[in-house]
Amino acid sequence: MSLPRVAVLVSGRGSNMDALIKGAAGGYQVSVVVGDRDCPALDRAGQWGIETRLVPWPGKDQRQQFSLDLAQAVTECGADAVACAGFMRILDPVFLQQVAVPVLNIHPSLLPLFKGLYPQRQALDAGVRVSGATVHFVTAELDAGPIIAQASVPVQPDDTEETLAARILIEEHKLYPAAVGMVCTGRVCMNGDQAEWKTDGPG
């Protein structure tokens, strides 16, 4: 039986995409990488020999068409799940309806704290002593879907945005493949607006 197929959405450097490809022994395969722009992540996916697609962002006034085109690229590849990995577009509800498979995202904060842009800066500004990363199901509300997995890191007194981001990123690269594996092996799914655990829970 073939492994569940994961489509990875990217916009940038692609270190999480890389981690997802390397971590695919955990019960899934990355079958396609889709970008909204030319970016290092697409080049790197090509080097891995993985199919790549480019669905260029056409501007805000064509958001709905973009969502349909993106959904088509994903469904044509027979994806069983979608993983956003540094994908810098807000996914329209039309996309979520069309793909009809779990859609995951990774965010570099302990959600529900510090949603949106510059979460590491937000964490430093708030003076928290612990931050981290969250993998969650994507819903229509930004960074607000049910949480699948989290990892924490200390915030050091002399941290800059860059040093904190680097510390969190190390954890992201372990957390994301594990979380995608949990979804692809049916250990957790989304039921309504909740994460539903099929076994003993995330512990």
Which of 5, 44, 107, 136 is the catalytic position?
107
State yes or no: is 136 an active-site residue.
Answer: no
**Can you tell me which of 23, 86, 102, 132 binds ligand GRF, judged by CB under 6 A?**
86
> Residue 9 belongs to what H/E stretch?
strand 5-10
Q: What is the DSSP letter of 39?
A: -
> Residue 131 belongs to what H/E stretch?
strand 130-137
106 and 175 Cβ atoms separated by less than 8 Å: yes
Under rule CB under 6 A, residue 13 binds ligand GRF: yes
For residues 190 and 169, what is the distance between their CA atoms, to the nearest angstrom? Answer: 25
Under rule CB under 6 A, residue 143 binds ligand GRF: no
**Stretch in the footprint of ligand GRF (CB under 6 A) among 6-14, 25-33, 48-56, 192-200:** 6-14
Which residues inside 31-50 make contact with ligand GRF, applying CB under 6 A? 41
71 vs 83 by CB, closer to ligand GRF = 83
For residues 62 and 59, what is the distance between their CA atoms, to the nearest angstrom? Answer: 6
Which residues inside 104-123 make contact with ligand GRF, applying CB under 6 A? 106-108
Question: Which tokens go with 154?
Answer: 């200390």
Binding site for ligand GRF (CB under 6 A): 12-16, 41, 85-86, 106-108, 169, 172
